[in-house]
Chain A
Amino acid sequence: QVQLQQSGPGLLKPSQTLSLTCAISGDSVSSKSAAWNWIRQSPSGGLEWLGRTYYRSKWYSDYAVSVQSRITINPDTSKNQFSLYLNSVTPEDTTVYYCARELVSTTSMQECAFDVWGQGTMVTVSS
């Protein structure tokens, strides 16, 4: 059974860097049938995809344009985990952050879905 366990601070000051880690059990961050994503959810409920990292003979990352200049998602193969770094945070980054596995079909890369999620981390940015 695949599980994702999130960790990281929940309180930041403006301009600091948000750093969250998602530890994977039951799968590998290097799996060629998965991608490892970060998603956040606004207080009103809206879900926003932030980005992902995945391995297909080499490492790739994709990011949402809205955060592209501030975000990095890195895999850590030695610890079987991946991390989100979001720099220059503002109060607008205050929300719940989730990591999620995107399981990809062997027949089509577009046939994919978030089938396993972390428990969520509430991050507050306040001076």
Chain B
Amino acid sequence: DIQMTQSPSSLSASVGDRVTITCRASQSISSYLNWYQQKPGKAPKLLIYAASSLQSGVPSRFSGSGSGTDFALTVTSLQPEDFATYYCQQSYSTPWTFGQGTKVEIK
């Protein structure tokens, strides 16, 4: 199975901050990497697919980058509604696997 490791596990930030979350795969996954946002009590929501493609309806302050084994999700100006937990997921090969999550909290 491909292991996905996110860092940090949590971070504190203020509204307006630029935030970057990283995700590392245990082997090369090309650009087959997705990012999700989850709020308490809700299902995850797709933000970014294929490493850098923005899902329809997702604000442009979210962006993704990377290929191979190292990826990043960046939020350019954090908004109050962005405080949530973020997960990466590889779609290179089954079993599909997720990172452990990064919780973004209000500073």
Interface residues of A (CB under 8 A from B): 37, 45-49, 62, 64-65, 98, 100, 105, 110-115, 117-120
Contact = CB atoms under 8 A, between A and B. Distances in A.
Contacts of A37: 96
A47 B91 contact: no
A112 B91 contact: yes
A65 B95 contact: yes
B50 A111 contact: yes
A47 B36 CA distance: 11
Interface of B: 1, 30, 32, 34, 36, 42-46, 49-50, 55, 85, 87, 89, 91-98, 100-101
Contacts of A100: 43
Contacts of A115: 46, 49, 55
Given A46-B101, A65-B95, A114 B85 contact: no
Nearest to B42: A120
B100 A114 contact: no
B101 A45 contact: yes
Nearest to B97: A49
Nearest to B29: A110
Contacts of A118: 43
B86 to A, nearest CB: 11
Nearest to B41: A120
B84 to A, nearest CB: 12
Contact of A111 (B42, B46, B91, B100): B91
